[in-house]
Amino acid sequence: MSGSLPVFPWDTLSEVTAVARAHSEGIVDLSVGTPVDSVAPVIRDALAAAGGAPGYPATAGTTELRESVVAALSRRHGIAGLEPSAVIPAIGTKELIAWLPTLLGLRAEDTVVVPELAYPTYEVGVLLAGAKVVRADSLTQLGPESPRLLYLNSPSNPTGKVLGADHLRKVVQWARQRGVIVASDECYLGLGWDTSPVSVLHPQVCGGDHTGLLAVHSLSKTSSLAGYRAGFVAGDPAIVAELLAVRKHAGMMVPTPVQAAMVAALDDDEHQRVQRDRYAQRRDALLPALRSAGFTVEHSEAGLYLWATRGEPCRNTVDWFAKRGILVAPGDFYGPGGRRHVRVALTATDERISAAVRRLADPAH
């Protein structure tokens, strides 16, 4: 099976990483979206308090967790009409995305649509199921194609592009007419900067009807819980029930202490606001520094990345950054359309972001 999968993208950066690490003031790693800020005490306390639980956790999640998800999605994102039974916790959203086509029973004759510029795990998940991938951003590109599953990602990783409610509504209508499941990756939904992203489950998009829709959410970004592997999926009750049935057989269970930590994270909006402010300040420092260094930053109105270009092959740009001790992700990781862009992450400490800003402004480099 591994022979049919693409090379893990970050494995191709070993040489350029060595160049960046050799910088006299150390590397500034802006290549990945890994949180660097400590988990909030309220979450850590909840994890510790549940540490003595001896039994197996429920695959469906605790009642308290599912109710906290519903309340948080309503309070933070205006999602209405969601029942706790239409929520399942996941062992991080990457796991869910990687196995979703398989869990849905897709086979070789099935087609899955992913964005033209996309998180690589969408394609990997399709390949694991043995299905076919089509890259498209417009419904007109699909012609008569009737896929089984269509992925949306707004705000986008890598570009930070946000799809408006009108666009999302048209996709939902198109998918329902053809019986296509829409899986919306909304991991960055709480990180809008120049606009306010909206969920596919929002009444403005779906009219309060979640039929055929799944929204995938992560606590890795807004609550710094990447190490906890804390995510969930919500939406169409019938599809969620199908996923739950298969996940029970596969033993896909989120540990009880992590579920307790998720409840604390979902119930507390203050730590999320503090974390969001940190990222906003880092963006406010890095964005003008990139522009002053001659880069055009496109989209990037939400999320944790800046999508930048100098109009040259992306690997040349990656080399340019590495010589300054800065590691960024080449745009070709995310599809052919990224060949002339790089993705610059905001997930570094304030000190490292400041170092990057200084290096970008220093003509001696």
Tell me, what's the pLDDT at 342? 98
Handedness of CA 342, 282, 227, 91 (dihedral sign): negative
Q: Are residues 26 and 62 in the same domain?
A: no
| Helix/strand/coil percent split, the chain, to 5 | 45, 15, 40
DSSP class of 150: E
Q: Which of 232, 251, 268 is the last residue of a domain?
A: 268
Whether residue 90 lies inside any domain: the answer is yes
Q: Are residues 94 and 195 in the same domain?
A: yes
Q: Are residues 101 and 113 in the same domain?
A: yes
Q: Are residues 64 and 210 in the same domain?
A: yes
Determine the structural domain holding residue 109 and report its residue range.
54-268
Tell me, what's the pLDDT at 12? 83
Q: 51: exposed, middle or buried (C-beta count within 10 Å: 0-12, 13-18, 19+)?
A: exposed
Tell me, what's the pLDDT at 10? 72
Whether residue 47 lies inside any domain: the answer is no
Q: Are residues 131 and 12 in the same domain?
A: no
pLDDT in tens, 225-262: 999 999 999 999 999 999 999 999 999 999 999 999 99
Q: Are residues 59 and 156 in the same domain?
A: yes
Distance (Å, rounded) from C-alpha 130 to C-alpha 118? 19
Which pTM was predicted?
Answer: 0.94
Q: Are residues 151 and 106 in the same domain?
A: yes
Whether residue 48 lies inside any domain: the answer is no
Q: Are residues 168 and 264 in the same domain?
A: yes
Tell me, what's the pLDDT at 364? 63
Whether residue 44 lies inside any domain: the answer is no
User: Cα–chain-centroid distance for residue 351?
Assistant: 25
Q: Which of 330, 322, 271 is nearest to 76 (CA)?
A: 271
Q: Which of 268, 292, 323 is the last residue of a domain?
A: 268
Q: Are residues 76 and 123 in the same domain?
A: yes
Distance (Å, rounded) from C-alpha 106 to C-alpha 112? 9
Whether residue 118 lies inside any domain: the answer is yes
Q: Which of 350, 363, 101, 74 is nearest to 214 (CA)?
A: 101
Whether residue 43 lies inside any domain: the answer is no
Q: Are residues 253 and 276 in the same domain?
A: no
Q: Which of 214, 236, 268 is the last residue of a domain?
A: 268
CATH of the domain at 20: 3.90.1150.10
Residues of the chain with pLDDT under 50: none
**Direct distance between the N- and C-terminal alpha carbons of the chain, in angstroms, rounded to an integer:** 44
Q: Give how many domains the chain has, as a whole number.
A: 2
Tally helices (H) and strands (E) across the chain: 12, 13
Whether residue 110 lies inside any domain: the answer is yes
Phi/psi at 133 (5° precision): -105, 135
Q: Are residues 160 and 233 in the same domain?
A: yes
Q: Are residues 180 and 294 in the same domain?
A: no
CATH of the domain at 170: 3.40.640.10
Q: Percentage of the chain surpassing pLDDT 70? A: 98
Whether residue 220 lies inside any domain: the answer is yes
